Amino acid sequence: MNFCSDNVSPVAPEIMAALLSANQGAAMPYGHDDYTQRLNSRFAELFETNVTVFPVATGTAANALALACLTPVYGAIYCHAQAHIYEDECGAPEFYTGGAKLVPLPGNHGKLNPEILRQTPMGAGVVHQVQPAAVSLTQATEAGTVYTVAEVAAIAEVARAKQLFLHVDGARFANALVHLGCTPAQITWQAGVDVLCFGATKNGAMAAEAVVFFNSDLAQAFQFRRKRGGHLWSKLRFLSVQLEAYLEDNLWLKQASHANALAQKLAQGLIHLPGVNLCHPVEANEVFVELPESLIVALEQAGVQFYRWPDDDSQMIRLVTGFNTSEQEVRAFLALAKQHSLLPV
């Protein structure tokens, strides 16, 4: 039982099969292969609009490279104080942007609040201050919640009013989408998103993310920045084919639905136990829950793998389900939790 993260999962069999099938003979390097060449049209179909798509191997690279296309070096990027780009990328956005500033904003359940964004002083035109450039939100959020179409649109409206580009870190975009039940178009460009980092790694790829620009002007520098960042694979077919297989037959949506459903089961099974509090609504594939210390210890001692959150001293734990998490694992976990919950401390 490993609920540490969705990135502990292996590669989906369908994607591994696609890698094997792409492994035939010579192919021109650096994206001049068939798989990469058809990515733009494949994603255009998915998003029902023209897009410019760049595959990269990691979410950190996707986010940092995308943000670097949205801000001058003296720019400000507004994000949630718990955003992955702010907390967990060792300064990659600062590195790729040439030192732009990420401005942390508060917000409930991991979500940016449009009103707070609106009221944040941004110093546009004031030479002493970094200049407003972009806003970044995470979909699904770091708290396992999902922005509705209306919520994204409300942030986009403030962003537009303040001339900020809107970036979405979609490391768990699939999980968000199946929760929302809307189209990819509705929750992205139709709601005002300029660029989406469309994650695949956490949901079954080996190492593949697509940076999807809905505004092609913003994409001009991307190819040079990607090469300069060392993120242009020579054998790029093996990255692109992962994305192709990920979309094929709605694999991505099926896998995300599976993971989301199991997260719901975990949450439903836990909330009835004594001393258990759900910390955030469970809308994607993550469960944040407060447990009695005795129960946390018992689960740890039983060999279940998960993280206390945000750190080792916390009473809150995070449970993440993946495309390959099984119903049995969830049932076994809940049985264990129930059993230790009933024991006297």
Of residues 16-45, those binding a second copy (CB under 8 A): 16, 19-20, 23-30
Among 37, 38, 41, 98, binds a second copy (CB under 8 A): 98
Judging by beta carbons within 10 Å of its beta carbon (0-12, 13-18, 19+), is residue 89 exposed, middle or buried? Answer: buried
**Minimal distance in Å, beta carbon 343 to a second copy?**
28
233 binds a second copy (CB under 8 A): yes
C-alpha span between 330 and 144 (Å, rounded): 18
273 binds a second copy (CB under 8 A): no
240 binds a second copy (CB under 8 A): no
Among 39, 46, 53, 64, binds a second copy (CB under 8 A): 64
C-alpha span between 57 and 61 (Å, rounded): 7
C-alpha span between 150 and 168 (Å, rounded): 15
Among 38, 160, 228, 331, binds a second copy (CB under 8 A): 228
163 binds a second copy (CB under 8 A): no
Contact string 317-336 vs a second copy (x = CB under 8 A): -------x------------
Among 38, 45, 99, 271, binds a second copy (CB under 8 A): 99
CA proximity to 44, closest of 161, 201, 174, 213: 213
Residue 320's CB is within 10 A of a number of other CB atoms, namely: 27
* 275-308: burial string, b at 16+ Cβ within 10 Å, e else: ebeebbebbbbbbbbbbbeebbebbeeeebebbe
Contact string 181-210 vs a second copy (x = CB under 8 A): --------------------xx---xx---
Phi, psi of 278 (to 5 degrees): -80, 130
Q: Is the dihedral of CA 230, 236, 242, 244 positive or negative?
A: positive
262 binds a second copy (CB under 8 A): no
Candidates 45-53, 134-142, 184-192, 219-227; binding stretch for a second copy (CB under 8 A): 219-227
User: Is the CB of residue 51 less than 8 Å from the CB of residue 211?
Assistant: no
230 binds a second copy (CB under 8 A): yes
124 binds a second copy (CB under 8 A): no
Query: Which stretches of 72-172 are DSSP H helices?
Result: 84-87, 92-97, 114-119, 149-161
Phi, psi of 245 (to 5 degrees): -65, -30
4 binds a second copy (CB under 8 A): yes
CB of 45 or CB of 88, closer to a second copy:
88
Rg (CA), the chain: 21
**Minimal distance in Å, beta carbon 275 to a second copy?**
25
CB of 2 or CB of 294, closer to a second copy:
2
255 binds a second copy (CB under 8 A): no
